[in-house]
Amino acid sequence: MTQAAGTAPLDGVPAADQTDQRVLVASQWQLIRWRFFRHKLAVISLVVLGAFYFVAIFAEFVAPYDPTDFREELTLAPPHTIRFVDPDGNFHLRPFVHPFKKTLDSVTYAAIFVEDETVMQPLGLFVRSDPYKLWGLFESEIHLFGLQDPDARLSLLGQDTVGRDLFTRIVYGARISLTIGLVGVAMSFFLGILFGGLSGYLGGTVDMVIQRIIESLRALPTLPLWMALSIALPSDWPVLRTYFAIVIILSTVGWTSIARVVRGRFFALREEDFVGAAELDGASNLRIIFRYLLPSFLSYIIARLTLAIPQMILGETALSFIGLGLQPPAISWGVLLKDAQAIRVLALSPWLLLPTVFVVVTILAFNFVGDGLRDASDPYTHV
């Protein structure tokens, strides 16, 4: 179809609004926002991610228990069924659980947990249980939810191999697993913009050298590289230091793709007439970079970064799973999954695999958001 004349059609902006005053004076970011919000899956994913990050930030408050507190008698207890109807068929507005009674299987001598239907333990919001210090600052005992009886244990997603609450540990694990992607991507972003920008702006020999380095790095298989690097980490390092070391390891390869994108956009944009026109206007190099080049590809880079986060998360999960990443007592989703390595677990305690669900949901959500951002990142359809 020949491109229609008239005002340039903007993708994602409803036809009826095209002549709307708001659209005529809408900046790039407004147009991107409107376009992004038309991408339903991306918006839902964004809400999911927002909820996850909220949980991660307020982990102490959201998690009903202390992540290290263990109850031996509840080792490998399954998730509770949350009920509204008691054994007599009466409906209760407030949900409740039956506590577990532990018996031994007469043949295998394995522990069997049965619900004790004679006892009802109601759930509540803002209940008291294990004391904590939020961000190491504010002392409290109030948790978002839990059983009203401070001594009873709600097993929302089951208990782990030493009787720690899995849901609590997943919530705490989100802290590391969700931020490692962000910090890693921030590192990659910094390195990528720096080297990609140098490559694209200076060109020539610098460009060639940087491109060869990038190609060499990308030629290395990632997992063996990460493994080699993490084996070199001293095992007595504190959790925080290991965490940053892992981030740096993950970024060694991550920045290369960002650098390539930045370089490519740089070259493409230099061909745009409006950049040439700015040069003829007498604009300085810095002015051209900050006023013309950066705003033109920032949105695009952000979209690319969003799509790079899942790789970081998967990287951390993989390293920790094979035991080369973070080590207990650090809690990450990868560390939690290490518990699920034994085949016995899969058969008897499948809930130990639940951290995978969170990994998958997070990665899908990041991918959807990234897709939405990428589609929205250039709201100007060129003829």
Partner 1 sequence: MTETSESGVMGDRAIISVRNLVKHFPVETGILRRQVGVVKAVDNVNFDLNEGETLALVGESGCGKTTTSHCIIQAQRPTSGQVFFRLGDDEPMDLTQMEKGELKGARRNIRMIYQDPYSSLNPRMTLLQIIGEPLAIHRMVESQEELRVRVADLLRLVRLDPSTLNRYPHAFSGGQRQRIAIARALSLSPKVVIADEAVSALDVSVQAQILNLLKELQHQLGLTYLFVAHNLAVVKYEADRVAVMYAGKIVEIGETEELYTSPRHPYTEALISAAPNPDPDTKHRARIVLAGEVADPGNLPAGCAFHPRCRYAEDRCRQEAPELVDVGGSEGQSHFSACHFAESLELTGIAGGLQSEKRGNE
Partner 2 sequence: MSQSADPDLERHAAVSGGPSDSLLTVRNLQTHFFSREGVVKAVDGVSFDIRPGEILGIAGESGCGKSVTSQSILRILPKNGKIVEGEILFNYGDRTVDLIQEDADGAVLRDIRGKEIAMIFQEPMTAFSPVHTIGDQIIETIRIHQQVSKEEAHEQALEMLRRVGMPSPARNIDQYTFNLSGGMRQRAMVALSLSCRPKLLIADEPTTAVDVTIQAQMLELLRDIQADLGMAIIMITHDLGVIAELTDRVMIMYLGKEVEHGTVEDVFHRPQHPYTRGLLTSIPKMEPGRVEIEPIEGAVPSPYAMPTGCKFHTRCPDYIEGVCEKQDPPLVEVARGHEVSCYLYGGREGLE
- Piece in contact with partner 2 (CB under 8 A), picked from 8-16, 76-84, 109-117, 276-284: 8-16
Does residue 11 bind partner 2 (CB under 8 A)? yes
Cβ 227 to partner 1 shortest distance, Å = 35
Picking from 219, 189, 217, the residue whose alpha carbon sits closest to that of residue 312 is 189
Among 7, 30, 140, 216, binds partner 2 (CB under 8 A): 7
Cβ 249 to partner 2 shortest distance, Å = 43
Please check whether residue 166 is in contact with residue 80, taking contact to mean a CB–CB distance below 8 angstroms.
Answer: no
The total number of residues written for the chain in this structure? 383
Q: Which residues pair with 96 in a beta bridge?
A: 83, 122
Among 23, 28, 37, 38, binds partner 2 (CB under 8 A): 38
The SS3 of residue 21 is helix
Among 202, 248, 277, 346, binds partner 1 (CB under 8 A): 277
- Report what 287 binds from partner 2, partner 1, none; CB cut-off 5-8 Å by kind: partner 1
Among 25, 137, 232, 240, binds partner 1 (CB under 8 A): 25
For residue 327 the two structure tokens come to: 């080590």
Q: How many angstroms separate the CA atoms of 242 and 237, rounded?
A: 6
Does residue 24 bind partner 2 (CB under 8 A)? no
Amino acid at 283: A
- Piece in contact with partner 2 (CB under 8 A), picked from 11-19, 79-87, 170-178, 335-343: 11-19
Q: Quote the DSSP letter at residue 165.
A: B
Q: Which residues pair with 115 in a beta bridge?
A: 100
Rounded to 5 degrees, φ, ψ at 155 are -105, 85
- Piece in contact with partner 2 (CB under 8 A), picked from 5-13, 70-78, 89-97, 249-257: 5-13
Among 111, 142, 186, 278, binds partner 1 (CB under 8 A): 278
Q: How many angstroms separate the CA atoms of 116 and 220, rounded?
A: 56
Rounded to 5 degrees, φ, ψ at 6 are 75, -165
- Piece in contact with partner 2 (CB under 8 A), picked from 7-15, 231-239, 326-334, 355-363: 7-15
Contacting residues toward partner 2, per CB under 8 A: 1-7, 9-16, 18-19, 38
